Amino acid sequence: MRISSKIEKAINDQISYEASAVNTYIAMGSWCERTGYDGSATFFFEQANEENTHMLKFVHYLNNAEAEAIIPAIEKPQSKFSSLESTFQAALKSEQTVTKLINDLVEIAEKEKDRATSLFLQWFISEQVEEEILFQTILQKFEIYGREKLAVYQIDQSLASIRSQVMAKKQISR
């Protein structure tokens, strides 16, 4: 099945955004690693891997739809942050942007009456719900424990395993 050129272009834009998310998260992980926030460094490097799988899902989708996935050049991401909390604020903001982009993509697919692409995008809709919950949960920790050095240290330590904790909690509530 050949997808429309409009959808091909929109998905290629999304590939570009996912690719920049990969590097953004590696840059955040790298800053954390340099700064001594080892738990968060682990977290961000894993997060970068996840974004890479998102990117590949779109790449495979286009290539299998008789279209061409374009692998983009990427701008250098922000490399310095003022605090651990600010990296997570930037991450949440980026995820909120992605949620909006995915919603826009769904709208384009619906307008084009492209049911296969709409269905393909459903996975990303639930993925974005999870991504936003994850970052909100992390930011909440700063509200609960505070921003003193010891509190931030403890938050950082908890981040190495936060993904599995949050996911486990959600499995129960589902």
Q: Note the residues at the interface with Fe ion (CB under 5 A).
A: 18, 51, 54, 131
Question: 8 vs 131, which CB is nearer to Fe ion?
Answer: 131
> Min. distance of Cβ 94 from Fe ion in angstroms?
7
When the beta carbons of 130 and 154 are compared against Fe ion, the nearer one is: 130
Which CB, 84 or 102, lies closer to Fe ion?
A: 102
Residue nearest to Fe ion (CB): 54
What is the DSSP code (8-state) at residue 67? S
Rounded Cα distance, 81 and 68, in Å: 36
Q: Residue 128: count other Cβ atoms within 10 Å of its Cβ.
A: 19
Helix 115-145 / helix 84-111 crossing angle, nearest 10 deg: 160
What's the closest the beta carbon of residue 148 comes to Fe ion, in angstroms? 29
The tokens describing 17, both together, are 């955004």
What is the smallest separation between the CB atom of 75 and Fe ion, expressed in angstroms? 17
Nearer to Fe ion, 128 or 152 (CB): 128
In angstroms, what is the minimal distance from the CB of 153 to Fe ion?
A: 26
Q: What is the Cα–Cα distance from 28 to 87, expressed in whole angstroms?
A: 7
Residue linked to tokens 């692998």: 71
